[in-house]
Amino acid sequence: MILHRIAIEPGSILTESKTGACLADALADAGYPVHLYCRRRGICGKCLIQIVEGDFGLPDADEAALLARRKAPAGSRLACRVTVTGPLTVLIPEASRPPSLAVVPEADWDGWRSVPLDPPLHKYSVRPDPPSLENPASDLDRLLASLPEAAWEPAPAALRGLAAVSRPGGAPFTLTAVVHDRRILAIEPGDTSGRQFGLAVDLGTTTVAAELVDLESGRTAASAAALNAQSRFGADVVSRITAARLDPAAAEGLRSAAWETVNGLLSRLLDQAGLPASAVYETVLAGNTAMTHLALGLSVASLTEAPFHPLVASLPPLPAGGTGSAAHPDGLVYFAPGIGSFVGGDISAGLAAADIESGPERILFVDLGTNGEIVLKNGDDLACTSTAAGPAFEGMSLSCGMIAGPGAVHAAHFAAGRLALDVIGGGAPMGICGSGIIDLLAMALEQGGLDASGAIRSAAGTIEAAPGLGLDRRDVREVQLAAAAVKTGMRRLLARAGLEAVDLDAVWVAGAFGSTLDVRHAVRLGLIPDVPPDRIRFLGNASLAGARLLLLSAAERDRCEALARRVRHVSLAGDAFQAAFVDSLAFSPWR
């Protein structure tokens, strides 16, 4: 085996790779991965690198065309298309690196459910009576007697803890019982009750966001977001569950990639807060049904075939040690309850956080992510459906799209007759994220650079945000298809309920969009119904807000479980969907 030296810039990192290896793999092995969102199909262009020294070979016609469209400098290649044959010096542009993401929080809103702190997980610091000849009761019994309630059932792991703190004949000792519901998960020596943390996770298809939550104060101690490492198996839900169904190794890869992402975030959060992993005894994950199944290593077969039913929807908290979680192994992992095969715990958690039950009579809730999930509240009735939007709304899969991280154009507007861009973190724009894409398209429609059919009217054939940064025909088409899918879903749900958009008291838009989504622009594109602006509310990451709520309140967890069972899951297949879809393709407001 011949090994070639690979130098990675910036940073002059040295690594080695064997002849015949894919450069993208060699870079990932060295700890410098590139984006691989189109699964090495060579169409997303996100793994673009420059070969500064060495033989960079010849791109094929498709790759050459893509490089030309991007006006890529000489020596540019897609790392997924380069085979290592000799020593190389490779420059990875910032835009090709998986970015460090900021958490999209929930939007500022007084409609969020606010409840008393009542976490299912609680630590009790106690000082049991010492054993004596008069009271030779077991250590466990004396511990139980010292607890404020009959939290009786010790988990097996708690027995180990008991052995560690038991001191025959010694002075009374303080210990802390970690209790969940009626179960003692662990017993820790000393008083550790001041350290009660939980992890709330929005397990998104594209983006995973997490918060370390102080269960005593209810405050968020740290937050972070990352791309879902499952992305290397496919950008959307359907491609991932198809991969998992066809290949057990892919299923296992998807399972471990989910935990790799969650654990990576946990580790960053713990570093920020200066805490060990053992401080986290409960994790609440809000993810769609496919994410939940994949993370649990459950068969997704039933999700890929009619009637598309899930294996599980609602689950009790599971022992963390049996999942892939790196939090305390004696702790628990709880998945927010799923509603149907394609409407999952992220939606039930979001609905709980936004308190849809206490909201006005008629609410259209839409979560614009890689899936577009839609819930219609019509009096006592709650119906939901989902549409496959793909990752366009999260900025992925578009030529210049990127996730809402540093360098992303997250808003565009006209200032003094000129296009002005807001870039996350300031600095030069490196790509355009979902909210920026909506802005650019809506403004192009208004300015005549784009027509309602999706045709680009400019001479260059692109909608430019900055030189070399814009949306081409394919990008527009991708957004158009995503928007049409969601629009069709909303229309069908309304039609089934005999409602018009004008009947809606509220339209709630959730999702991983940058928090700056301009809802007027979304209305202009027809992405959301054309109702009076004061009825439209952008919620931001409602799913993460919901995961936090379920971590902080046992009562809300019960309420969310009941809510998930109340929501009817409506399948749009065979429901005149196709015709409605074609009608929905136009970029135009609903009225």
Q: Which residues bind its own copies (CB under 8 A)?
A: 131-133, 136-141, 152-154, 156, 159-160, 162-163, 166, 168-169, 296, 298-299, 301-302, 304-316, 318-319, 322, 338, 340-341, 569, 571, 573-574
Minimum distance between the CB of residue 322 and its own copies, rounded to whole angstroms? Answer: 5
Contact between residue 196 and residue 122 where contact means Cβ atoms under 8 Å apart:
yes
Contact residues for 344 (Cβ-Cβ < 8 A; gap 6+)? 286, 287, 288, 289, 290, 291, 292, 336, 338, 373
Contact between residue 557 and residue 113 where contact means Cβ atoms under 8 Å apart:
no
**209 to 100, 111, 199, 287: CA distances (angstroms):** 11, 22, 10, 11
Q: Which is nearer to its own copies, 305 or 534 (CB)?
A: 305
Q: Which is nearer to its own copies, 200 or 303 (CB)?
A: 303
Q: Which is nearer to its own copies, 298 or 433 (CB)?
A: 298
Minimum distance between the CB of residue 13 and its own copies, rounded to whole angstroms? Answer: 41
Minimum distance between the CB of residue 338 and its own copies, rounded to whole angstroms? Answer: 7
Minimum distance between the CB of residue 386 and its own copies, rounded to whole angstroms? Answer: 12
Q: Which is nearer to its own copies, 338 or 511 (CB)?
A: 338
> Quick count: other Cβ atoms within 10 Å of Cβ 172?
12
Beta strands across the sheet bearing 197-203: 220-227, 207-214, 197-203, 280-287, 332-335, 318-319
DSSP code of residue 83: B
Minimum distance between the CB of residue 231 and its own copies, rounded to whole angstroms? Answer: 24
Token representation of residue 123: 């630590």
Q: Which is nearer to its own copies, 289 or 515 (CB)?
A: 289
Minimum distance between the CB of residue 329 and its own copies, rounded to whole angstroms? Answer: 12
Minimum distance between the CB of residue 296 and its own copies, rounded to whole angstroms? Answer: 7
The backbone region for 96, taken as left when phi is positive above 0, alpha when psi lies in -120 to 50, beta otherwise, is alpha
Q: Which is nearer to its own copies, 116 or 316 (CB)?
A: 316
Minimum distance between the CB of residue 566 and its own copies, rounded to whole angstroms? Answer: 13
**What 3-state DSSP class applies to 172?**
coil
Q: Which is nearer to its own copies, 112 or 308 (CB)?
A: 308
DSSP code of residue 428: S
- Cα distance between residue 91 and residue 93, in whole Å: 6
Amino acid at 183: R
What angle (nearest 5°) sits at the alpha carbon of residue 528, between those of residues 480 and 377? 130
> Quick count: other Cβ atoms within 10 Å of Cβ 37?
24
**What 3-state DSSP class applies to 57?**
coil
Amino acid at 154: P
Q: Which is nearer to its own copies, 136 or 467 (CB)?
A: 136
Contact between residue 516 and residue 547 where contact means Cβ atoms under 8 Å apart:
no
Residues β-bridged to residue 334: 284
Q: Which is nearer to its own copies, 307 or 426 (CB)?
A: 307
- The closest alpha carbon to 285, from 308, 310, 307, 258, belongs to 258
Q: Which is nearer to its own copies, 313 or 433 (CB)?
A: 313
- Cα distance between residue 286 and residue 545, in whole Å: 10
Contact residues for 427 (Cβ-Cβ < 8 A; gap 6+)? 406, 407
Minimum distance between the CB of residue 578 and its own copies, rounded to whole angstroms? Answer: 17
Preceding peptide of 307 cis, ω within 30°: yes
Minimum distance between the CB of residue 327 and its own copies, rounded to whole angstroms? Answer: 16
Minimum distance between the CB of residue 171 and its own copies, rounded to whole angstroms? Answer: 14
Contact between residue 283 and residue 325 where contact means Cβ atoms under 8 Å apart:
yes
Q: Which is nearer to its own copies, 133 or 171 (CB)?
A: 133
